[in-house]
Amino acid sequence: MSPKRILPKAALLLILAGLVWVMAPGFQLEFTADAKPAYKELKLFTDVLDLIKQNYVDPVDEKKLIESAIQGMVGSLDPHSALLTPEAFRELQIDTHGEFTGIGIHVTMRDNLVTVIAPIEGTPAYRAGIKAGDRIVKVDGKQTDNLRDAVNRMRGPKGTKVVVTIIREGEPKPLEFTLVRDVIPIHSVKSAILKPGYGYVWVTNFRDNTYDDLVAALDTMESAKPPLKGLILDLRDNPGGILDQAIKVCDLFLDKGVILSSKGRKGAHVRVYKAHKNAKSRSYPMVVLINGGSASASEIVAGALQDHKRALLLGTTSFGKGSVQAIENLSDGYALKLTIARYYTPSGRSIQAKGVEPDIFVARRILESDAKAATERTIKEKDLKNHLGAEPNDTRSKSSKDREKEKSKLPPKVQSRISPLDVNQLLRDSQVSRALDILIGYQVFKQTNNG
């Protein structure tokens, strides 16, 4: 057999759910020198192209026709393979490594419709109420039948308006959103102490600085008094990101074993990523939150921690994006994004079109504060005039100093780089609240058993 000819060296990237993953060395697209060209099929193509050029009712752009033909060929393989134009390739790199202006959503093609994977927290789409699973049917009144074209039309200069029409399950009519484009933030990690000893980290996507930001957040919480006794890792509506960052995040909480494996037809596309012994032990219990907007890299993290029994998964089933795409530079600034493998969790599970199932299914809802308000309206012993204190020396009424001291104990607002997050609001989230109860309950049982 003739030797294989490797394509010219280029930046190889892994794409999951619309975001770029920088691929580790070893993955390459290749030609086999003795492959038989499909001359007969190519003649059919050139015959059709000539007929169109000579006979179509209007003049045609030959370059555009060929580009569209390649797009159709590659796009027929699966929703994630595509020919990237020079502009599309640049935008793809910006999605992970730079800022851009738009409405702030991650999308994919599903059932031939542009479908929202997840809105980005703090963006125009997020604030307007666009949700994971929404189908975008029009942008500025024009039908959407091409993913890249839809993305291009939703992006634009900051401060300009765009009208997005969606269909949503359960809604009898299409919904129309008028959004003002803005700079989409690139920061992906936010953290808070929900209660002393119990931390919360929200990873919105996996960017090139996610690992460093997460380590900084964990170091701060771990050095607090009391130190961390439990952690909630929120991966809800996280559409994916850079492979290297996802692997590193897993490695923070695992000391050994497989994190991820990939399998394709080519031997070069078979890879295994393993955890390493950490210098700093992070053995506290964890709950990971997932939902239908958790895709790709976030599914890798959730699946790895679940398989290693390192974390309990809570929420709803994830998106189910379990394929690997490689990108190779072509001539004139074009690039080919091609599905080359499937990836698997440490136990060998493929999540492609299946998703990661949580250990505990909890639908998200905002908890009402009526019960708390009712409790506060109920007259208690402490409300009675001249009531006895708990101990003989306890005063019957609180001084202004005591009231200020209690006020200082209230959960603080978390100053996010995108928008302020209120810890009280987080605690009203049914999934966050349930996760916190599980972590606290674990500590209670642990102390009971020790006793």
Active site residues: 296, 307, 321
Looking up tokens 């600085």 gives 209
Given a contact cutoff of 8 angstroms between Cβ atoms, the answer to whether 415 and 261 are in contact is: no
CA distances from 154 to 149, 239, 362 (A): 9, 18, 33
Number of Cβ atoms within 10 Å of the Cβ of 422:
13
State the burial class of residue 326 (Cβ atoms within 10 Å of its Cβ: 0-12, 13-18, 19+). Answer: buried
- CA distance linking residue 203 with residue 211, whole number of Å: 10
Instruction: State which amino acid sits at residue 47.
Output: D
| Tokens, residue 416 | 């996010």
- CA distance linking residue 21 with residue 7, whole number of Å: 20
374 Cβ contact partners less than 8 Å away, ≥ 6 residues apart: none
- CA distance linking residue 432 with residue 335, whole number of Å: 42
| Tokens, residue 343 | 């990836």
- CA distance linking residue 253 with residue 175, whole number of Å: 42
| Tokens, residue 428 | 């009203």
CA distances from 71 to 74, 76, 218, 301, 352 (A): 5, 8, 44, 32, 23
User: How many alpha carbons fall within 13 Å on the CB side of residue 4?
Assistant: 11
Given a contact cutoff of 8 angstroms between Cβ atoms, the answer to whether 13 and 23 are in contact is: yes
